[in-house]
Structure 1
Amino acid sequence: MSDLVRAALAVEATPRPPYAFWTHYPETDLDPEAIARETVAFARATRQDFVKSMPNGLYVVEDWGVRTDFSEIAAGGVAKVTASPIEAHEDWAKIRRFDPTSGTLGRELRHLKLLVEALGPSVPVLATVFSSVTIAKKVSGGLFAQHARSHPALVRAALDEISATTAAFSRKAIEIGCAGVFFAVQDATATLGEAAWRDMGLAYDLAALEGARAGWFNAVHMHGDDIAFDLIATYPVHVLNWHVGETPPTIAQYRESGGRKPVLGGLRRTPITQRDMAAVEADIVAALSADGGRGILLSPGCVIRHPVNLDLLKRIAARIRGEA
């Protein structure tokens, strides 16, 4: 399966597209052994060609003193910050880089190591990490934008520390066997503006991605609607992931504009959640119609909300594999 993934990343013709699915694992994602077991079982049940790790979305901020609430995830909700170490602008000085082998990041490296060992070299594993601005927003409980305007030097210094920590974590993840990182950018929207992102986001993301330089399967995830696609698509990664079918561009539009990077995605989440196999089939056909399906790795554009319907995902997998 690793050969199939590598061929797709090289935009070569493949007998079928590689694919993966991902969802949350509430109540187990704080235990590295438990989440590794559940992830491996899910990957094997759906016969995935690669695996994106699914830690809870706030693992990247807990070591800086953030308190969290995960109680709504099991019902399809999201994790929440209940207390932040950033209450005033001077608190940004508390954000210092730290050893990613300790604390919550160390827990997640343990989770990744277990995944790599259980799945073996034939199933590449992507370590989920986050953009520096995304982490800063999670850390600050919503005060990031205000403090970035009023005290930019303090916020920039904190972003330097966040980027260095993310790079160190990514480097360790690849050292233990991950194929690369899934770099989630949740705040680079066209509404914010490309100029603003170039000023306060781009340099820190590039610094964070330096830690993944040794990876052979690095992806960037452009989260949400109205994304700053043209800018984020230039990031030094191997494959692009966005909410294809939910926000522009389509894969065909990206290809027609001259975009040549492989695409990770193509499956909208709503048809999967609504168990609409006809709509899923249409998504697969649309994704593979661009450039004869070369350079396509099928996946959801973002997290499939919990709980998932495993039987439907097995049907989708069989369709992708040409067995249904």
Structure 2
Amino acid sequence: MSDLVRAALAGEATPRPPYAFWTHFPDTDLDPDAIARETVAFARATRQDFVKSMPNGLYAVEDWGIRADFSDIARGGVAKVTASPIAAPEDWARVTRRDPASGALGRELRHLSLLVEALGPGVPVLATVFSPVTTAKKLSGGAFAAHAASHPAPVRAALDEIAATTAAFAARAIALGCAGVFFAVQDATATRGAAAWRELGLDHDLAALDGARGGWFNAVHMHGDDIAFDLLATYPVHALNWHVGETPPGIAEYRAAGGRRAVLGGLRRAAITARDMAAVDADIAAALSADGGRGVLLAPGCVIRHPVDAGMLRRIAERIRGEA
């Protein structure tokens, strides 16, 4: 399967597109051994060609002292920060570099090492990491934007520390066998503009991604329906993931504009949750219509929210494999 993934990333013709699915496991994702077992079972049940890690979405900020509520995830919601160490601008001085081998980061590295060991070299594993600005926003809630505007120096200094921590974590993940990182950017919007992101986020993103330079399968996730696509598509990664079918561009549009990066995505998660096989079939056909389907790795544009129908995912896998 690794050869299939590598060929798709290189834009070569493949007998079928490689694929993967991802969701959350709220009952087990604070236990590295339990979530590794559940992820491996999930991957094998759906015969995935690669695996994106599915940690709780706040693992990257836990070590800076937040408190969180994860109860909404099982109902289709998201984790929430209930208490933050950042209340005033001077609190950003508390955000200093963390050791990726300890605390919640160390817990996540154990999870990743167990995945790599259990799945073996034939199934590439992507470590989920977050843009430093995304991490800072999760850490501080609504305070981030106000502090970045009124006191940019301490916020930028904190972002430097977050980027260094993220880079060190990514390097450790790749050293233990991950194929690359799934770099989630949740705040680079077209409305704010590329210039605004260059001012605040770009340098820190690139510094964080530098830790993943040893990976052969790095992807950027452009979150939301107002993405600064033209800027994020230039990031030094091997594949682009966005909410294809929910926000422009479409894959064919991206290819027509000269875009050559591999596309990781194409499946609308709402169609999966609704068990709408006709819509999923349409998504697959649209994803594979450009350039004969070269350079496409089928996956959801974002996390498939609960409730997740495992039978539906198996049906989609059969369709992609040409078995149904």
Q: Same fold (TM over 0.5)?
A: yes
Residue 288 of structure 1 is matched in structure 2 by 288
For the 8 Å contact 1:83–1:141, the answer to whether it is kept is no
Map 1:241-256 → 2, pairs under 5 A: 241-256=241-256
Secondary structure of the residue that 2:113 maps to in structure 1?
helix
The CA deviation at 1:307 is 2.1
TM-score for the superposition, normalised by structure 1: 1.00
* Distance in 2 (alpha carbons) for counterparts of 1:290 and 1:35: 36
3-state SS of 2:59 partner: coil
Q: Is the 8 A contact 1:166 1:208 kept in 2?
A: yes
Q: Distance in 1 between matches of 2:142 and 2:160?
A: 19
1:219 maps to which residue?
Answer: 219
Q: Segments of 4+ in structure 1 off by > 3 A?
A: none
8 Å CA contact retained: 1:20, 1:50: yes
Does the residue aligned with 1:128 lie in a helix, a strand or coil?
Answer: strand
Secondary structure of residue in 2 paired with 1:181: strand
* Uncovered stretches (5+) of structure 1, i.e. residues with no partner: none
SS of the aligned residue for 2:129 comes to: strand
* Match of residue 16 from structure 1: 16
- For residues 310 and 86 of structure 2, the distance between their equivalents in structure 1, rounded to whole angstroms, comes to 40
Range with bigger deviation, 48-57 or 303-312 = 303-312
Measured against aligned partners, the alpha-carbon deviations of 1:134-171 in whole angstroms (never above 9, x if no partner) come to 00001112111100010101100000000000000000
Per the TM alignment, residue 37 of structure 1 is displaced from its structure 2 partner at its CA by 0.4
Residue 156 of structure 1: aligned partner: 156
Name the structure 2 match of 1:109.
109
Q: Show the counterpart of 1:297.
A: 297
Distance (whole Å) between structure 2 residues aligned to residue 306 and residue 111 of structure 1: 22
- CA displacement 1:206-231 (0-9 Å, x = unmatched): 00000000000000000001100000
Aligned to 1:306: 306
Report 1:128-207 matches (<5 A): 128-207=128-207
Matched, 1:315 2:305: no
The structural deviation recorded for 1:79 is 0.1
Report the Cα offset of residue 318 of structure 1.
0.4
The letter of the residue matching 2:66 is V
Structure 2 counterparts to residues 87-106 of structure 1, below 5 A: 87-106=87-106
Letter in 2 for 1:245: G
Letter in 2 for 1:239: A
User: TM-score if structure 2 supplies the norm length?
Assistant: 1.00
1:174/1:212 contact within 8 Å kept: yes
C-alpha distance after superposition, 1:84-109 (max 9, x if no partner): 00010000000000110000000000
In structure 2, the partner of 1:30 is 30
The percentage of counterpart residues that share the same residue type is 81
Deviation at 1:272, TM superposition (A): 0.4
Distance 2:141 2:202 in 1: 21
- The AA in structure 2 aligned to 1:32 is P
Read off the aligned partner of 1:144 and give its amino acid letter.
F
Structure 1 counterpart SS, 2:63 = helix
Determine if the alignment matches structure 1 residue 44 to structure 2 residue 44.
yes
State how far apart, in whole Å, the 2-side matches of 1:62 and 1:270 are. Answer: 30
Q: How many residues align?
A: 324
Following the alignment from structure 1 to structure 2, what is the Cα–Cα distance between the partners of residues 90 and 226? 31
Deviations 1:290-315 (A, max 9, x none): 11000000000000001210111101
Give, in whole Å, the separation in 1 of the partners of 2:192 and 2:28.
Answer: 35
SS of the residue 1:200 aligns to: helix
